[in-house]
Structure 1
Amino acid sequence: MALYGYARASSLSQSTEIQEQKLYEVGCSVVRKEKISGASTEGRDELKTLLEFITEGDTLVVVRLDRLGRSTRDVLNIVHALDQKKAFLRVLDRNIDTSKPEGKLILTVLSMVSEMELSFIKERQKAGIERAKTKGVYKGRPSSIDHEKLLQLKRNGHGATAIAKELGCTRSAVYKALNRLK
């Protein structure tokens, strides 16, 4: 019956240090951390490792629910995976513990509220950008790609992969830049 901590930051510039400290303070014997978006469970190898490692009676501990996942479905899938192993989830900031009957209910409601709030934030952001665009204030993030070099590489017969490698960007960035330049 061990406590295992999971700390996550969304970007490389953010730190998991405070989360890790809290997780160790509540008695987690192991804390796994990663810096990756919580929009999906895809690519979250440290979380996957914990879910594979946890056994009956163990508890996965997170500081905040949004560190576990942004979508209700992902959070509930994680809880289901823990249930299958007869393990539990504990969320420190809301005092949620799925080893108690009310814990699962509270977790489900809070997951739904978190997902709804995220969609509201995105809607407000989109509306703000649209208003700024109509005023001519918002033009998007400036391109970091050297368009002259991109066009020269394209004229020389290089494909998107080679261009992306040469320019130090992604293939999708190359395609977007080419479409804008048409």
Structure 2
Amino acid sequence: MGIVVGYLRVSSEKQNTESQRAIIESKFKVERWYEDHATSGVIKGIDRRALGELLNYVREGDTVVVYAIDRLGRNTIDVLNTVERLKLNGVSLVSIREGFDLTSDHGKLLLTMLAGLAELERKNIKARQMSGINRAKAEGKSLGRRKTIDNRAVLIWRSENNASISMTAEHFGISSSSVKRACS
């Protein structure tokens, strides 16, 4: 008989895994936890630190529990590859929000549909974001951080003082890469 392993993931530093953990703990006695913090679901599962460790740790008979399928990833193929790897190793996968065992045939069908919907939603979010950026540009709004370095002043001071990049950076209290950008 294997153990129950929990996997948690949040996308940003402002989020935490407490609610995911509480919901999983209300239904399962988890013996080992893996958590990825400030990790996008777009990053391949195997490339995420904690999920990669989990995939290398679990053994036949173990059960991996996630709060929701989108915690595994936002790309249908990647999520399916993760599920297939678990299945080949004899590991069960349960998603609480969707309410099913993802290693059964019915579960795999639903998984494919849900992962596809998660990927579609990610693309829709990106399209809305680009639409907003394009609209702001068309309205003449400046995007990004406000420029705080006067490139011309940096270039002139560096030339007049025959200063190195590091000396210039120190004089203005900026990074070396900022000096390079200002002088290019």
* TM-score interval, smaller chain: 0.7 to 0.9
1:97 is aligned to: 101
For the aligned residue pairs, the C-alpha RMSD in angstroms reads 3.2
Moved over 4 A (4+): 143-148, 166-169
TM-score (normalised: structure 2):
0.78
2:23 is aligned to: 22
Q: Which residue identity does 2:43 align to in structure 1?
A: S
1:38 is the counterpart of 2:37 = no
CA contact (8 A) 1:20 1:31 kept: no
CA contact (8 A) 2:83 2:103 kept: no
Shift of 1:8: 0.8
Q: Which residue identity does 1:90 align to in structure 2?
A: V
Encode CA deviations 1:117-144: one digit per residue, 9 max, x unaligned.
111121122112211211123x212147
CA contact (8 A) 2:59 2:89 kept: yes
TM-score (normalised: structure 1):
0.79
Identity percentage of aligned residues: 33
| Partner-residue secondary structure (3-state), 1:19 | helix
1:50 is aligned to: 54
| Partner-residue secondary structure (3-state), 2:77 | helix
1:59 is aligned to: 63
Distance (whole Å) between structure 2 residues aligned to residue 31 and residue 55 of structure 1: 15
Encode CA deviations 1:37-72: one digit per residue, 9 max, x unaligned.
221136421111111111112121111122111111
1:80 is the counterpart of 2:84 = yes
Structure-2 change in CA distance of 1:127 and 1:86 (3 Å): same
Q: 2:144 aligns with which of 131, 141, 145?
A: 141
| Partner-residue secondary structure (3-state), 1:94 | coil
Q: Which residue identity does 2:9 align to in structure 1?
A: R
5+ residue gaps, structure 1, are none
1:112 is aligned to: 116
1:158 is aligned to: 165
CA contact (8 A) 1:24 1:31 kept: no
Shift of 1:109: 1.0
Q: Which region of structure 1 is more displaced relative to structure 2, 40-49 or 128-137?
A: 40-49
CA contact (8 A) 2:3 2:62 kept: yes
Shift of 1:100: 2.1
Shift of 1:112: 0.8
5+ residue gaps, structure 2, are none
CA contact (8 A) 1:3 1:29 kept: yes
Distance (whole Å) between structure 1 residues aligned to residue 147 and residue 60 of structure 2: 50
Structure-2 change in CA distance of 1:96 and 1:144 (3 Å): farther
| Partner-residue secondary structure (3-state), 2:94 | strand
Distance (whole Å) between structure 2 residues aligned to residue 62 and residue 91 of structure 1: 5
Structure-2 change in CA distance of 1:142 and 1:51 (3 Å): same
Q: Which residue identity does 1:34 align to in structure 2?
A: D
| Partner-residue secondary structure (3-state), 1:38 | coil
Distance (whole Å) between structure 1 residues aligned to residue 148 and residue 64 of structure 2: 43
